[in-house]
Amino acid sequence: MSDNDYAIIRADGRQYKVSEGISIHVDRLDAELGDTKTFEDVLLLSQGDTLLVGNGSQGVEGARVVAEVQEHGRDKKIVVFKYKAKTRYRKKQGHRQGYTKVKVSKILAPGQDG
């Protein structure tokens, strides 16, 4: 793969632009450290001069991205504060989103094994 090869994948309703060797944070996955995770919902695949685009809600048929689970963690805390004027209503709540850090090892085009 060359330097400008990339894919756009969908994981848990979010889209990520990935290329081989980069690490991304996705919503927490049910996987152990060191496991491999295959993302089969590839929306776009660019390899050299070839550009494959899925149609609508379907991804590119047969394309997949293989990644290795590196760590699990939680993001910074965000504060959710609800307030209504003149009614003595206020509610403060915190939230920390869990994430999984994965490192992309392979981007496979349709028909490629790996």
What CA–CA distance (Å, rounded) separates 43 from 63?
9
Task: For residue 113, tell me if it sits in a domain.
Answer: no
- At 3 the pLDDT is 64
Query: How many other CB atoms are found less than 10 A from the CB of residue 63?
Result: 24
11 located within any domain: yes
pLDDT value at residue 1: 53
- Domain range holding 90? 6-108
97, part of any domain: yes
Per the structure, the count of domains in the chain is 1
Token pair for 95: 């939230």
- The answer to the question of residue 77 being in a domain is yes
- Using the predicted structure, report yes or no on whether residue 4 has a pLDDT greater than 90: no
What local confidence, expressed as pLDDT, does residue 19 receive?
94
Lowest mean pLDDT among 58-62, 73-77, 81-85: 58-62
Confirm whether 1 is domain-assigned. Answer: no
